[in-house]
Amino acid sequence: MTGQTVATAHWRALDRDGEDKCRLAMMDHGWMLVGHARFRDATGWAALDYVVRCDEGWHTLSCDVSGTQGGGAVALRLERNGADWTLNDTPQPDLRGATDVDLGFTPATNLMPIRRLPEVGTIRTCAAWLRVPGPLLDPLHQSYRRERGGYVHYAAEETGFAAYLEVDEHGFVTGYPGLWEAVP
């Protein structure tokens, strides 16, 4: 990968055995997030690598996920062209208008909406929510509100999940209650 590294993150899973490491790089015309998630779930061990490409305004352009999970191969490519999305070149009309990708197995993809979040206020966004195995892909309407002390209130409409996320100066989540914590 080319580009200048801006920040790195390393998390430990709190709800299962696992960890995730990623790197954020500034590219000529946007951003790239490259990560490596290793965890055990109901299907067994997973080793998933991901690359998320964003424009200069932190909107997802594409995302690749590859590796293994539960003994099977994973090879997925999500792409956004304007308001339209494809998964492995198959149109995904339910995702029309989504601006972000949310990889359900890592806290890394909370970074993009957090980077767009103003110092005061709330943003609402829709993400292409990708879960594996499956893959399962659905729209996920989310809101982010900056709070005092390095916290961001996060809520996901479809799941009813809400939490106060601890966030570092780069926008990476450092504390995701019950799910992830940053490794120093």
Instruction: Give the pLDDT of the chain (184 residues) as one tens digit per residue.
Output: 568 999 999 999 999 999 999 999 999 999 999 999 999 998 899 999 999 999 999 999 999 999 999 889 999 999 999 999 999 999 999 999 999 999 999 999 999 999 999 988 999 999 999 998 888 999 999 999 999 888 999 999 999 999 999 999 999 999 999 999 999 8
**CB-neighbour burial class of residue 56 (10 A; exposed 0-12, middle 13-18, buried 19+):** exposed
Provide the 10 A C-beta neighbour count for residue 111. Answer: 25
* Closest to 165 measured CA to CA, from 181, 152, 155, 147: 152
Domain map (residue ranges) of the chain: 4-182
- Give this prediction's pTM: 0.94
Return d(Cα 124, Cα 46) in angstroms, integer. Answer: 31
Tell the residue number behind the tokens 């352009």, with chain if given: 61
* Closest to 184 measured CA to CA, from 22, 34, 10: 10
